[in-house]
Amino acid sequence: MSIKAARVSVDFSDRPDVIELLRVQAAHTGKSQKSIILEALEAYFLHHLENKLLLKAAEKTFTEWNNPDDEIYNKL
What are the angstrom distances between the C-alpha of 65 and each of 12, 27, 73?
Answer: 47, 54, 11
Residue 5 φ then ψ, to 5°: -65, 145
DSSP-assigned letters across all residues of 4-64: ---------TT-HHHHHHHHHHHHHHT--HHHHHHHHHHHHHHHHHHHHHHHHHHHHHHGG
pTM above 0.85, yes or no: no
Delimit the domains of the chain by residue range: 34-63
Q: What is the CA radius of gyration of the chain?
A: 22
Interval 16-70: pLDDT, tens: 999 999 999 999 999 999 999 999 999 999 998 888 888 888 877 777 777 777 7
